[in-house]
Amino acid sequence: MVSCINETIPRLADLGSALDLGQVEVYTTKSFVAELGKEVYANSRLRDLFNHYGSDKGSTHDYFQIYEAMLGSMGAVSALLEIGLGSPNSNVLSNMGPLGRPGASLRAFRDFLPSALIFGADVDSTILFQEEGIRTFEVDQTDRKSLELLAERLSSEVELDVVIDDGLHAPHANIATLEFGLRLIRVGGWVAVEDIVLAARPVWNLVGQMLPKTKYRSYLIESKAAVVFAVQRIA
């Protein structure tokens, strides 16, 4: 059955192309940054903040380049949400292991965007915290009702500019979070799904084909250590 699914997804993506739904363009980090009219710099304040707080977005990954370009292309940013705080609990799926530092990237974004509200969410309720500029909530990406409750809490307060999925690295959970995020971001805002393995790229090509081209623009970014699927709401 798994083999059948693995064969089916690429064939569906091929069908989408045959029906003229179009391929999702593949970028490197550098070409994605250039597409947004930005440049890759050797020195990066966001990378330094990620490293300072212990986030792998500035070391193992080069996501700092992607996010600096995104944020720099948007003008004022008032609210950002990241799902996945970096649980060190080995009993939690998609944990960071004992060296995980919960909230590391949230603190980096808070310092990088001092005028913005920074929200976080995680399935591990023991690592939730509140501090200046940051609020966190419990959420289970595999539970539609849990995502709906989080959407209700956030939409009553603010319209989001950016939603980042760095939680459970599984397509079914990521697609649920993508649907959640696309309902909450403003025009010009972004949803980004991190840490996609190269073998799963056909899944995300299919997802990108399904999104209305008049409302969203999709990108597959082959970054330093993994693939990122990014969507900007354009209308």
Architecture of domain 2-233: 3-Layer(aba) Sandwich (3.40)
pLDDT tens-digit map of 71-126: 999 888 999 999 999 887 777 777 677 777 899 999 999 999 999 999 999 999 99
Q: Given a cut of 80, is residue 1 above it in pLDDT?
A: no
Buried b / exposed e along 79-98 (16+ C-beta atoms within 10 A): bbbbbbbbbbbeebebbbee
User: What is the domain partition of the chain in residue ranges?
Assistant: 2-233
Give this prediction's pTM.
Answer: 0.91
User: Which of 19-33, 96-110, 210-224 ranks highest by mean pLDDT?
Assistant: 210-224
The mean of the pLDDT values for the chain is: 89
Pairwise pLDDT comparison (78 vs 1), residue with the higher score: 78
Cα–Cα distance, 218 to 222 (Å, whole number): 13
Q: How confident is the model at residue 6 (pLDDT cuts 50, 70, 90)?
A: low
Backbone angles phi, psi at 101, to 5 degrees: -120, 90
